Every structure is written in C-alpha cells, then in structure tokens.
Amino acid sequence: MSDEQKSHFWIPDEEVQRVDKTLRALPTKRNVSFSEHGSKLSHSLQAIKQTLEAVASDNSLADSDLLVFNIELPQGEKIQDKQSLFDSNGMKVRAVKNVRSAIVTSTSSQFQTLRNRVDAYTRNGSGRTYFDFIEDFKPYIGSEKNSSELRKLTASAQVPVTLDIQLMLIPNLENHLYHSALTHLIEKINETRGHVQESPYYLSDNTPVVRAIIPSNALTRFENDSAIYRIEKTDFFNVETTQEASVDMGELELDPSVNLEELPIVAVLDSGVMFPESLSSLIIKNWVAPDSSGGDSDHGTKVASRVAFKYINQQLSSSIITPRTRILDCNILDGNVPVNIFIQRIQAAVSAHSDIVKIYNLSANASSPIEGDEMSIIGYELDALQSRTGVQFFVSAGNHKLWQTEFGLEDILDDDDSRISAPADSMLSVVVGSIIGADHQNSLSQRNQIAPYSRRGPGFQGFSKPDLSAYAGTIILDGSDASVPNDPFSMVISKDGRLIPDAGTSFSAPIVAGDYAEILNTIPDRDTLLSKALLYHNAVALWDVDGMEEEELTLAHNLYGRGISNVVDSKYSSPSKVTFVRTGTLNRTTKERVTIFMPQILAAQVGRNVAKVSVTCVSRPSVDRTKGTEYLGAYIRASLKKSHVDGVTLQPVQQDFKEGRQKWDVCQQFSKTFSRFNAGDWQVWLELFSRWEDKNDDVPYALVVTIEDVSGSLDVYSEIEALNRYRALNTIRLRIDN
C-alpha cells in the first residue's frame, strides 16, 4: 500500500441508529355490483369445470382429486396480500405468475363449496370481502404454458417433427403427488411415442422437471395436462473457440516473489484447463463432473488465462509473469450439454468445493435470448446456489451472431435476438458483457463501444444487465471471411501453450472474476457481499452522465452495465477520495440510519460541483422461481440525507435519476455532486421492503459510501481519521453473522 493508498473506513454500530418500522395495512373497497360480478365468476368456474372434464384423459394429476386453475385479482391488488382469501375458500397458491395472477389448486369438494359461495354472493352479496377482490377465474391449460421460444417454433412455417422440451410440473405440490404425476406423465410420453431423456431432475425448490423428446403433434396433450406448469424448449450449453494465427510464448515462468498460497482461488466451470508446465502450479485441482467424459480444455484454458493473468500480453516484455489468482479446474462441458445435465454438474462442482472456493466463473450461455418475464431454469439455480452457499458467480452475457447478417451496430442492438441469454438473467450473479478495446478497420464496433457479438439488456423484468463490462477482442469482416485481430485485449493462452486472439463474452467474464478475486483477498473474513458492493461501487462509466436523460442512461446500463471494474479504488481510499463501508442485516420491522462524516475542509471549498457523494447498497434477498415476476423476496431502499445549516436537522437529497434505484433489484446505487453544503454528520437511510412467506427474514446487505473532493487536491481522509470514530477496514474482523 503506497502513501496515496489508504484503507477504507469501517462504519461501526455506534454510528448506526436502528429505528422500528410501523407496518400499516390500508383496507380498500371496490365499487362493484355483486350480482353482475358474481354471475361472471360463476360462469368462469363452470367453464373451468367443463374444460378440465374435456381434457381429463391427459390429466396426470387424476389420482389426486386436485383441480388446477388460474385466479386473477383486480388492478392494484396483490396476490401476496390475499392469503386469507385463499385459505378461507379452499385454494392453495402453487405458483405466482405476476403480482395479481396465480395458479391455485383445490379439491373437488372444495371447488364445489367455492361455487356455492359464489352463487350466494351473486344472490345477496355475502362474502364480499373476498369475492369483490377476485377479478376472474380461468382454466390453466393450452399454449400459455409454453415458453415464447417454443411458441415461435411451433408457429413457424416448418414445424420440426419432434420437439426436445422441458416439462416442469406444478410447483409446491406434495412429494406423493409428484411421484404419482411423474408416473402418469412418463407413461403418456411413451404412449405418444416420445422418449424421456435421463431421469427427472428436481430444481432447488423441489419442483420436478422432465426432459423429453416428443412428436410435435403431441404437444397439445402436454399443454392440457393439469400436472404441467410450464413447457420450455431444451437449452443446450457448449463453448465455441476460434483458431487464428498464434504467437509462440516461449519459456515463461511465474514470478518467484509471488507466494502462490496467498493468491485467491477462482473456480473455472468450463471444458477443462491445461496450462503449460511452467504455469501448471497455478491449478490447484483438476476436477471432472462425475457423469462427464471431460472437455477438450480448449475454451476452458483460454478462460482461465484471463482469470489468472487478465491481459497477459501486457506482461510479455520479459519472461517473468505475475499471476493474480489460482485456478480450480471444474471440467463440466464435454460437448452439447442439455440444461438438466448442465445444472447437475454445476451443483456438483459447488457442493464439492464451496468450503474452499467462493468465486465461480461460468462462460457458457444458451443460444437464444431470455424471455424476461420468467426467470430461466438455470438462472434460478445459480441464484439458489448463491443464496444457499454464499458463493459468487460470474457469468458471461452471451454471444449472438447478428454481426454476420446486419450492416451496423445500431441494427444489431435494435434486434430482439441480441438480448442476453440464460443464465445471464440470474439476479445474484455478476453478469459481464464485452467492450471493444482497440479500433480495427472492418469491425462493426470501435473502441469503447459494445462488441458486435456481445448481448445486451434488459434482463429479467426489465432490470439492467449486464452488471459490468470488460475490454475484449472484436471481429472483423473481410468479404465473407471473419477473423479476430491481434490486439492487447484479444490475446489468450491456448491449451498448447501459445498466445492466440479470440473474442467473446466468455473472455470478459473471467476478467471481472479475477478483479473481484483481487478485491476479495483484501477484505476481512473474505466477505463476498462487501466485495461485490465495492466492485459495483467503483466501476468506471464509459459515458458522461452530465446532460443525459433518464432513457439514455437506462440504455447505457443495458449496453455496458455500470462500466468497467476499478480494482485499485475498490481496494483503497486516497487522501481526496474516502470510502466508508458496512455490512449488516435488515428485516421489514426495522430501518437503519447510517452516519457518515462530511469534512469541514471539503465544505469550505468554493466553486461549482466541488464534492461528490456516491452510495451503493447490495443485498442478498431470497429468491423463488415459483413467484413468477415477483421473484425476489425483498429489496433495500437507500436514500441520502445531508446536514442542515442548524447542525441538527437533516435534509433529503434529491436524486437526478431513478436508474440504479429500481424497486426489487439487488443493488441500489446513486451519486450526487454538490456545490454548497454543510459539514458534519450526514446519513444514509436504509429501509427493507419484503413480500411472501419470508417477510420477517433478515436480509444481508453491504453498504459502500464515498465522499470525494472533485479537484483531487484536498486531504479529506486525514480530517475523518482524526475523529477516531471510524476504524480502518484492514484492522477489523467483520461480524461472523454476516
């Protein structure tokens, strides 16, 4: 640490005020005619009964005496607030589609009771507190169960003879019901001359999924099956590499002054890693998934070289090279791997190594873009793993091939097929896109523009993705020939120990994974959430916010995320740029008011835009794929309060943009530049909002706040240090419960 590199300040409990939060439920009334509305509901229930009877032969839940149907609430009402409505009328919510629509079940007798109650409501208005707040009932069968990709496929001019699909059962059923339904479902697959592929597998929420290849003309029978919740085209995961002219690296050796045992470890989930002998000591273990024949190490070695050396050709002025990480080789890609097998291999890798490795790079994506209104199967599984084990995934945004057919970058970005692909919709993973690092003739993208192959956001439910970007190689077109030019950002190590150019978001994700590893290695107790908050907080934007409209900023975030990572600022404060950090937990019954100090030396500055305050709060809420668009269980809202001239009261700080402060996102982030302000105690207010069964759960968070002298000339750090209120981060241990 140089004289200019200072430790961040830890915000102790003494600087935090916890405030009880009063929860209020405001009753609402609907002005509806119970006779008219009841008649509508009655007809809808009758239609459900008739529809289910018409397709009874395809019902894999026939033995269970369960009826499956859809309930819809009026605009402004929320499924999460109506538990008493469901309980009192014999309905169980099995899956939430969106804020006011859910898939429910009831037994035959409960369904008849419901119909009787609706009839009574129609006659005399009894039960208005319930039935006024039901917009409608609908059957849950048909093509609405199909993913949009599957619907497009079956609506095309040439429908394939067979379909490779994922059949997801209704979530949250009892195990004996799953056993019975799976038996009937497999019988039907065989009966329709389909073929079950591998054994049924279970998602982290215990929902069974069956992969099957069926005749396309049999799809209707599965759409009409009450046991089926969703049908998706099977995604496959593989890796592609290019082989261009290579550079012989000669005899390289690792810097002997580096203690390899002190380097952080990153797991590379890929096709295997095969470093040359002189670098092989960086690989702590070669692990192959139990059911895998092992990949060819081509793609995986390139990815691992980015993790360990970042842009390695920048070190080749001598034969001594300096690594920044060690590698755990998790060989899980041995060809075209279907999503069910891919998930099981990822789970096995994390299960075997999460006690020693917290960082996992996954540079493999589905070929098609996400839908966005439904979390992908693999996106959810990555989130579930991170919630359960505390590990951090780094995921490539995905590549497309629109550069082969489009004439310009703008046309590519306007095409819906350029949207990110699974698992880049994962909310808890760090998703990384590619930015071109050098100009090349005949490239559709130039320096500091999104790469011509890199997928863009938005992600799930319109949230910004990617999270970050990294410099990478480009693709140039010369007639019909495509190639990756040699430049400082395209070169990677091949499995035969040569330096070759390659391009893809596969080689951007490991850049950021390695950056994160460097940050994590300096954080007390290797706190993964705080390291993530510092990574996001210090990202360098590649655009000028001044003069931007909200829509322009949203577009920038969906192309580049927060920008490119800045390891030095993430690890260290400086005399003119001081960072405060804190970790903790929040639930919906308490709020926190976290105090930071604004120095007098900074407040005394005269001029325009002399000081900047930046705030980042990253949380790790629960996730639930069965909640549809209501996927995240909580979010933490952050707001900034500045001191008043009276030195006692606080004033709210108005933010210029909503972008970066969306509800139900895992990160709240904003900054504000000040020309005039008062020194003293400022506060960041944190408040958690939650939903579903985990309303009272404690949600972990990490907070990072930076105050900065824009001129870079003032020693702000020393004035704060002299207070003795904040301890240097490198002198403390974080609380174990975090």
Q: How is 63-93 classified by DSSP, letter by letter?
A: GGTEEEEEEEPPTT--GGG-HHHHHHTT-EE
Reduced to 3 states (helix: H, G, I; strand: E, B; else coil), residue 565 is: coil
Give CA–CA dist 560/543, Å, rounded: 10
At which residue do the structure tokens 């709060």 appear?
Answer: 617
CB-count burial class (<10 Å; 0-12, 13-18, 19+) for 524: middle
**Contact present, 67 and 52 (Cβ < 8 Å):** yes
| Beta pairing partners, 395 | 362, 431
Q: Taking the domain 145-234, which CATH number applies?
A: 3.30.70.240
Alpha-helical segments (H) within 480-549: 509-520, 528-537
Reduced to 3 states (helix: H, G, I; strand: E, B; else coil), residue 526 is: helix
pLDDT at site 735? 54
Domain ranges of the chain: 6-23+574-731, 34-141, 145-234, 244-560
**Contact present, 330 and 268 (Cβ < 8 Å):** yes
Buried b (16+ CB within 10 A) or exposed e, 663-672: ebbbbbbbbb
| Encoded amino acid at 118, one letter | V
Mean of per-residue pLDDT scores for the chain: 94
Assigned token pair, 686: 């944190």
* Average pLDDT value for residue range 497-509: 95
CB atoms within 10 A of CB 401: 13
Lowest mean pLDDT, pick from 8-22, 106-120, 654-668: 654-668
61-101 confidence digits (pLDDT tens): 999 999 999 999 999 999 999 999 999 999 999 999 999 99
pLDDT at site 3? 73
Task: Tell which residue, 514, 404, 423, 412, has the closest CA to residue 456.
Answer: 412
Reduced to 3 states (helix: H, G, I; strand: E, B; else coil), residue 664 is: coil
Reduced to 3 states (helix: H, G, I; strand: E, B; else coil), residue 237 is: strand
At which residue do the structure tokens 């085209």 appear?
Answer: 233
Q: Which CATH superfamily is domain 244-560 in?
A: Peptidase S8/S53 domain (3.40.50.200)
Query: What is the chain's Cα-based Rg?
Result: 28
Give CA–CA dist 599/386, Å, rounded: 38
Task: Tell which residue, 411, 484, 725, 687, has the closest CA to residue 599.
Answer: 725
Asked if the model's pLDDT at residue 671 lies above 90, the reply is yes
Q: Report the alpha-carbon angle 74-77-81, nearest 5.
A: 135
Q: How far is CA 412 from the centre of its chain?
A: 23
pTM: 0.94
Assigned token pair, 47: 């239609």
Q: What are phi and psi of 708, to 5 degrees?
A: -140, 130
pLDDT at site 481? 84
pLDDT at site 694? 58
195-196 and 228-233 beta bridge pairing: unpaired
Assigned token pair, 428: 């808890």
Q: Taking the domain 34-141, which CATH number applies?
A: 3.30.70
Give CA–CA dist 363/398, Å, rounded: 8
**Which residue would you say has higher pLDDT here, 26 or 216?**
216
Assigned token pair, 606: 């005269």
Give CA–CA dist 46/465, Å, rounded: 44
Asked if the model's pLDDT at residue 680 lies above 60, the reply is yes
Task: Tell which residue, 682, 728, 710, 539, has the closest CA to residue 616.
Answer: 539
Handedness of CA 206, 356, 507, 471 (dihedral sign): positive
58-69 confidence digits (pLDDT tens): 999 999 999 999
Asked if the model's pLDDT at residue 245 lies above 60, the reply is no
CB within 8 A of 144, min separation 6: which ones? Answer: none
pLDDT at site 736? 43
**Contact present, 518 and 505 (Cβ < 8 Å):** no
DSSP assignment of 241-272: ------EE--S-EE-TTS-GGGS-EEEEEES-
Dihedral of the alpha carbons of 193, 199, 203, 209, in degrees to the nearest 10: 10
Give CA–CA dist 362/269, Å, rounded: 5
**Contact present, 620 and 387 (Cβ < 8 Å):** yes
* Average pLDDT value for residue range 263-271: 98
CB atoms within 10 A of CB 83: 12
Task: Tell which residue, 221, 223, 196, has the closest CA to residue 211.
Answer: 196
570-579 confidence digits (pLDDT tens): 999 999 999 9
Q: Give the pLDDT band (50/70/90) at residue 25.
A: low
pLDDT at site 375? 96
Asked if the model's pLDDT at residue 433 lies above 50, the reply is yes
Residue 548 per-residue DSSP state? -
DSSP assignment of 121-158: HHHH-TTHHHHTT--EEEE--SGGGB-HHHHHHHTSSS
Give CA–CA dist 424/8, Å, rounded: 31
Q: Taking the domain 6-23+574-731, which CATH number applies?
A: 2.60.120.380
Q: Residues of the chain with pLDDT > 90: what percent?
A: 86
355-412 confidence digits (pLDDT tens): 999 999 999 999 999 999 999 999 999 999 999 999 999 999 999 999 999 889 999 9
Tell me the CA distances in angstroms from 518 to 117, 253, 277, one per residue in order: 63, 21, 24
Give CA–CA dist 615/596, Å, rounded: 11
Asked if the model's pLDDT at residue 246 lies above 70, the reply is no
Q: What are phi and psi of 284, to 5 degrees?
A: -80, -20
6-23+574-731 against 145-234: fold identical: no
Asked if the model's pLDDT at residue 251 lies above 80, the reply is no
Q: Give the pLDDT band (50/70/90) at residue 29.
A: confident
247-248 and 498-501 beta bridge pairing: antiparallel
Q: Give the pLDDT band (50/70/90) at residue 9.
A: very high
Give CA–CA dist 703/387, Å, rounded: 18
Give CA–CA dist 154/146, Å, rounded: 10
Q: Residues of the chain with pLDDT > 70: what percent?
A: 97
Asked if the model's pLDDT at residue 24 lies above 80, the reply is no
**Contact present, 579 and 522 (Cβ < 8 Å):** no
Give CA–CA dist 252/495, Å, rounded: 15
Reduced to 3 states (helix: H, G, I; strand: E, B; else coil), residue 100 is: coil
Asked if the model's pLDDT at residue 642 lies above 50, the reply is yes
Q: Give the pLDDT band (50/70/90) at residue 738.
A: very low
Q: Give the pLDDT band (50/70/90) at residue 244.
A: low
| Encoded amino acid at 600, one letter | Q
Asked if the model's pLDDT at residue 663 lies above 80, the reply is yes
**Contact present, 363 and 506 (Cβ < 8 Å):** yes
* Average pLDDT value for residue range 186-201: 96
